[in-house]
Structure formats: C-alpha cells, structure tokens
Amino acid sequence: MSPGGVTTTVGAPAESTEDDYFQACRAAKTWMQQQGGDPRSLIEPYLATVQRGGPVGAGDFAKPWAELTPGQQSGVIVAVEAAADDLCG
C-alpha cells in the first residue's frame, strides 16, 4: 500500500485471461494518454481511480476492486504497469 492508501502490489500471482489483461492494459493506456505526462507517474493515480470505483471501463475486469480476487487485483496492477511501459500490444 502506498502512503496515499493505494494498493500498488498484491502478494499473489497475477490471474487474468489474455482478453482481460489486454482490455485492462488498453483501458489504463487510454486513461494515461488522456491525462498526459509521464505514464509511470500515473500508475498510482490510475490505480486509485480503479480502487475507488471510478469510470475506467475494462480496467478492472468489470468488477468493483473489492470483489476482485487477490490474483485479479495483481493482474490489474500488472496490466497498468504494462500500459505505462507501452506494452499493451
């Protein structure tokens, strides 16, 4: 958990389908592009948006953060980091 109260790591291996991962990555990348600036600096703000239930589309596997399993939460975090590194494909 970050000092701002955002979960940035989960002690579980990432679990997601290829489609879920791609959609989460693309949603994060789109959000980051709309914000502008350094994508790496936007990881935590994006995760904060997802975790409080903000409108991020497929970025959260279409479930509230609290309903995701730890593996799915980890999968979202991995997808967001990939988006920041422009690795969505």
- Maximum distance among all Cα pairs of the chain, rounded to whole angstroms: 32
DSSP summary character for residue 3? T
Per the structure block, which two tokens stand in for 54? 């903000």
Q: What is the pLDDT of residues 1-24, one digit of tens each?
A: 787 889 999 999 999 999 999 999
Name the helix (H) or strand (E) containing 33: helix 18-35
CB contact burial 68-77 (16+ within 10 A = b; e otherwise): beeebbbbbb
Percent of the chain whose pLDDT exceeds 90:
74
pLDDT at 34 over 70: yes
Stretch 27-44: mean pLDDT: 95
Structure pTM?
0.90
User: Residue ranges per domain, the chain?
Assistant: 18-84
